[in-house]
Structure 1
C-alpha cells in the first residue's frame, strides 16, 4: 500500500480500541497513523460521531466492520 493509512480515533473510545486491535490482527505489519480527532479541528468536525474510521486517500471504512470486511477493504484500496 503506497498511500498512508489513517485511523481516526480519540482517547477513551472503546470502539476505536477494538478497530485498532482488529487492524493489528488482520495485518500485523501494516504501518498506520492514529489521528485523535480532538487534536484536529477538521477531523473533529467530520468524524466526531462516526469514529472509528479508517482512511486511505479518499477511501474510508467506517465502524462497524469485521475482519473479513477490513481485509476486503484493504485489498480493494491497493
Structure 2
C-alpha cells in the first residue's frame, strides 16, 4: 500500500502529520510517498490551502489536521 502525503517545507502541521503517519505505520504496513507541492505548480495550486494532505487510492483521506483514527480506518477498509 502506498499513501501519498502532500506537504511543503516549513509547514508545522505537515511535521505533525508526518509523525502521525509514522504512528499508523506501527499498526499497518504501508509506504509513504511524500510529495513537496512547491516542486509542482499544479499540485501547489491544488493543495496550497489544504496541506498537509493524505491521499490513498486516489482519494483524499484527510487534510489540515491529521488524526490517527481517520487514517487507520481508511487504510483498514
Q: Give the structure-2-normalised TM-score.
A: 0.84
Structure 1, unaligned runs of 5 or more: none
RMSD: 1.4
Higher strand share: 2
| Ranges of 4+ aligned residues in structure 1 off by more than 4 Å | none
TM-score, normalised on structure 1? 0.83
Distance in 1 separating the partners of 2:41 and 2:65 = 23
Structure 1 SS opposite 2:4: strand
Paired residues in the alignment total 74
Unmatched runs of 5 consecutive residues or more in structure 2 = none
